[in-house]
Amino acid sequence: MNYTNAIPERISEAGLGYMIFLFFGVFLLSLFLIPKIRAVALKSNHSDAPDHRSSHSSPVATFGGITFFISYLLVLFFGQTIDDTHTSLTLIVSLSIIFLTGFLDDLKNLSPRIKFLGQFVGVAILMFRPEFRILSLHGFMGVFEIPLYVSIGGSLFFLLGLINAFNLIDGIDGLTGITGIIVASFYSYMLYQLEYYFYLSISVATIGTLLAFLRFNFSVSKKIFMGDTGSLVIGLVLGLLTLKFMAIEYAAYSVLSFNPRQLPLFLVGVLFVPILDILRVMFLRSVKGVSMFKPDRNHIHHIVIDFGLSHRKASCFIGAVNFTVALIMYVVIQNFSVIQSSCILLFMFLIAILLLFLMNKNTASLKLKSKIKQSMLKMFF
């Protein structure tokens, strides 16, 4: 395809003014809807009861993710005028299936198999559209065009992995929201530069609705959780935007002043925390012979809060790390070769893993000392 002839999503009439209006519209709509959803959830006794893994001491309303779904539906419906490839309907169907899967899981606690099946069906629908397949690595590691079956399989695996990665980091107040805002902000900048306004509207809506959600998620008296209803939807949206970047024409990236061969490295940097967390958890569970679907307290956020940080501080700290890595990678890929950039990204992963190990070891040591001290006090007093 000739880049100068056609990239259908490039709609020159849409601009910064429309995106600002869209952002505030979604933000205000979410601020209005979330308290209503919270009140209904509490009244119908649909709340998250505290257990041994919880930090809250009283039931907290769930289903905050309903707001995300409504926001995306409205954006996709009214954004059809800048959707020349007519992907809106496909996205609505996929989002609806993922939303329903998360909603039923929050409502009835679905089995892991049923939950995964719902995710698979929702993601598989997107594979009918070439816009959401990893069609090329643009020469990264010598790979250009990817065979169709590899493209579909790889895209399915990536999307399912990222959806569950966002689901896994949704364990403390604000973390999924802050991470989602950071990822969507980097994506919005790139999509605006590339003039892909349809996908930019989805990314901007993500920022708007998550900012409104954080207002209540961090609240003491008006707290609400997004639940699987929200984390699965956010994971899907950010995943499909990631795949869209991989499907964009090679020549388009000239406006961003970096070699498209390094695009995968940048995208991994932007998704640093979700990728690090799910890879780490999968490795630990496989070593221990534990089911991949069994919940535990081995996530990054658990280590950070056990180290002594509050939920808000832990989320902001982890978010700051994700932002820093993404920013570093954006600068790195413009100034270094593919091999050098790969080594820098790998080095940051290794540093993060080492720090988590040291923090976790220190926390375990402190807990052991505390138990010994308590035992001694009981013996003598």
Predicted pLDDT at 255? 82
Predicted pLDDT at 239? 96
Predicted pLDDT at 10? 46
Indicate if the pLDDT at residue 259 is higher than 70: yes
Largest CA distance in the chain: 84
Q: 379 pLDDT band (50/70/90 cuts)? A: low
Predicted pLDDT at 367? 61
Greater pLDDT, 372 or 71? 71
- Residues contacting residue 9 through CB under 8 Å, at least 6 positions apart: 82, 83, 84, 85, 196, 197, 198, 199
**Helix, strand, or coil (residue 290):** coil
Indicate if the pLDDT at residue 372 is higher than 70: no
Percent share of the chain, pLDDT over 90? 60
Predicted pLDDT at 377? 52
User: If you average pLDDT over residues 343-369, what whole number do you get?
Assistant: 81
User: If you average pLDDT over residues 24-28, what whole number do you get?
Assistant: 97
User: Which two three-digit tokens encode residue 380?
Assistant: 């003598």
User: If you average pLDDT over residues 114-123, what whole number do you get?
Assistant: 96
Greater pLDDT, 154 or 47? 154
- DSSP assignment of 211-266 equals HHHHHHHT-SSS-B--HHHHHHHHHHHHHHHHHHHHHS-GGGGGGGTS-GGGHHHH
- Residues contacting residue 223 through CB under 8 Å, at least 6 positions apart: 56, 60, 61, 173, 216, 217
**Helix, strand, or coil (residue 136):** strand
- Report the amino acid identity of residue 267: L
Greater pLDDT, 286 or 14? 286
Indicate if the pLDDT at residue 109 is higher than 50: yes
Contact, 62 vs 42, CB < 8 A? no
Indicate if the pLDDT at residue 22 is higher than 50: yes
Q: 3 pLDDT band (50/70/90 cuts)? A: very low
Indicate if the pLDDT at residue 254 is higher than 90: no
Greater pLDDT, 259 or 381? 259
Instruction: Supply φ then ψ for residue 61, to 5 degrees.
Output: -60, 140
pLDDT tens-digit readout, 182-238: 999 999 999 998 989 999 999 999 999 999 999 999 998 899 999 999 999 999 999
The rounded Cα 37 to chain-centroid distance in angstroms is: 22
Predicted pLDDT at 63? 92
Predicted pLDDT at 11? 46
Indicate if the pLDDT at residue 5 is higher than 90: no
Q: Please tell me the distance from the alpha carbon of residue 23 to that of residue 207, in angstroms, as a whole number.
A: 8
- Beta pairing class for 60-61 and 47-48: antiparallel
Minimum mean pLDDT among 4-13, 97-106, 122-131: which range? 4-13
Q: Please tell me the distance from the alpha carbon of residue 350 to that of residue 277, in angstroms, as a whole number.
A: 13
Predicted pLDDT at 49? 60
Predicted pLDDT at 289? 77
**Helix, strand, or coil (residue 132):** helix
pLDDT tens-digit readout, 126-175: 999 988 988 888 778 788 888 988 999 999 999 999 999 999 999 899 99
Which of 170, 137, 133 lies closest to 154 in space, CA to CA? 133
Q: 4 pLDDT band (50/70/90 cuts)? A: very low
User: Which two three-digit tokens encode residue 320?
Assistant: 């700051």
